[in-house]
A and B are shown apart, each in its own frame.
Chain A
Amino acid sequence: MTIHHHPPEELLVAFAAGLLDLGQHVAVATHLVGCPHCRAMVRTMEHVGGLVLADLPPTAMSVGALAAVEARLDGPGSSLAVPPRVGAGLADVPGLPPFVREYSAGPWRWIAPKVHLRAIQLPVASATRVFLLRSRPGTKMIEHTHTGFEMSCVLSGSFVHAGGHFGPGDFDFGDGTDDHEIMIDSAEDCICLVAMQGDLKLNGMIGRLLQPLIRM
């Protein structure tokens, strides 16, 4: 697979630094699965992160901190850990990072002619929602994001808009400033993983949620 569209550098740096929210993190990680070039960049930044960390001046830990941690070493592990996930709802979706394949997912839902959506349930609430979007060949839509940025990573098929042609592995980063007319130009369905900022209060109201995203 030849990848032509990569996340901007500042996004890779934010990924490596852990500053993206989980939804955004998933979108960038999905691109990384297929992109050795960006993986190398992220690994470089992780090394830089290690050096930055090692060179920081220390801040004294609270009294008894080490003893408190030592008392927990044989316990059930970090309280930050999530309970084991149930189901493997996305095991059948190629191109996802292994950790995402363990997340559960809803069913495919019709949201517009020739367009279906499958929500991915993140283990914790995130300001950015993540879903798969499947569009039939020849579908045209207007991408219009007024709520914030949006990231898409192509898993299969391809689409084209003013910013170029996007095939498997390509990463499309929209900051909400443009309206793009998108056209699915592959012979097979185009499936993308999309991470989109939005108002959490709309959660579950997928039809209304996507109205601003997709107009036919």
Chain B
Amino acid sequence: MVNETPNGATSDAARWAALIEAVATRGDRAAFAALFEHFAPRIKTFMRRSGASEQSADEFAQEALLAVWSKARLFDPGSVGAAAWIFTIARNLRIDVLRREKRGGRDHTVEIDPEFHVDEGPQPDAGLAASEVESRVRDALTHLSEDQLRVIELSFFDEKAHAEIAQTLQIPLGTVKSRLRLAMNRLRGQLGDFS
């Protein structure tokens, strides 16, 4: 692998992609179990940090992996990295889930599963292998300051993220927003021709 990173991130990505493809082409249950062992506990952490209860986060992680199984055929390793693909599956599932849970009704039977395909026409990064995009993003992240990284990471977890980030980092809300904007601009700058 050209983009092998010291921590083995790229080979991990290739392994996960191969596992998803094994699920897609052969319904490979051992491959599914391997994906489950790695991703379900992390999706659970993700949901716990987003404010979900222990039980709800556990159920959510199970549903997300079930969706990975049923959507595996839609995975296109040429256009998206395995981790990003699994992230977007969990992302789509969690839209409104937390909000509804706060309203009291934990009705897990009528949740939404929209396919948020908004891509029409060629992708700006078409032709760039997903593994390269992912390693570029990883690389770009290392160029951000600790503060910028923290703001970006925390931005993934809660709808009230910005107010809470401000509280956590003990900085004004405006500073959170400007740090996020700076970080995004730096990311975009680092990625250059890709975005």
- Please give the residue numbers on chain A whose beta carbons come within 8 Å of chain B beta carbons, in ascending order: 9-10, 12-14, 16-22, 25, 29, 32-33, 36-37, 39-41, 43-44, 46-54, 56-62, 65-66, 68-70, 72-73, 77-82, 97-99, 123-124, 126-127
Contacts and interface: CB of A to CB of B under 8 A. Distances in A.
Q: Is the interface of A mostly helix, strand, loop or mixed?
A: helix
B22 to A, nearest CB: 14
Contacts of A40: 124-125, 194-195
B111 A80 contact: yes
A52 B151 CA distance: 12
Contacts of B188: 41, 44
Given A10-B155, A18-B94, A66-B33, A77 B70 contact: yes
Interface string B23-59: 0000101001100110111111110110000010110
Nearest to B65: A69
Nearest to A55: B42
A44 B123 CA distance: 12
Nearest to B119: A39
Contact of B70 (A25, A36, A78, A99): A78
Interface of B: 12, 27, 29, 32-33, 36-37, 39-46, 48-49, 55, 57-58, 61-63, 65-67, 69-70, 80-88, 90-96, 99, 108-121, 123-125, 133-134, 137-138, 141, 152-153, 155-159, 161-162, 177, 180-181, 184, 187-188, 191, 194-195
A82 B112 contact: yes
18 contacts: A22-B96, A33-B118, A44-B195, A46-B80, A47-B81, A50-B87, A53-B43, A57-B42, A58-B42, A58-B45, A61-B40, A68-B62, A69-B36, A70-B32, A73-B29, A73-B66, A79-B108, A126-B96
Contacts of A18: 90-92, 94-95
Most chain B CB within a 10 A radius of its CB, from A29, A44, A50, A52: A50
Nearest to B27: A73
Contacts of A48: 137, 141, 152, 156, 187
A33 B120 contact: yes
A47 B133 contact: yes
Q: Is the interface of B mostly helix, strand, loop or mixed?
A: helix
A20 B108 CA distance: 19
Given A40-B194, A41-B195, A97-B117, A77 B62 contact: no
B119 to A, nearest CB: 7
B137 A56 contact: no
Contacts of A69: 36, 62, 65-66, 69
Contacts of A36: 121, 124
A77 B81 contact: no
B42 A53 contact: yes
A48 B184 CA distance: 11
B77 to A, nearest CB: 13
Contact of A65 (B58, B91, B119, B184): B58
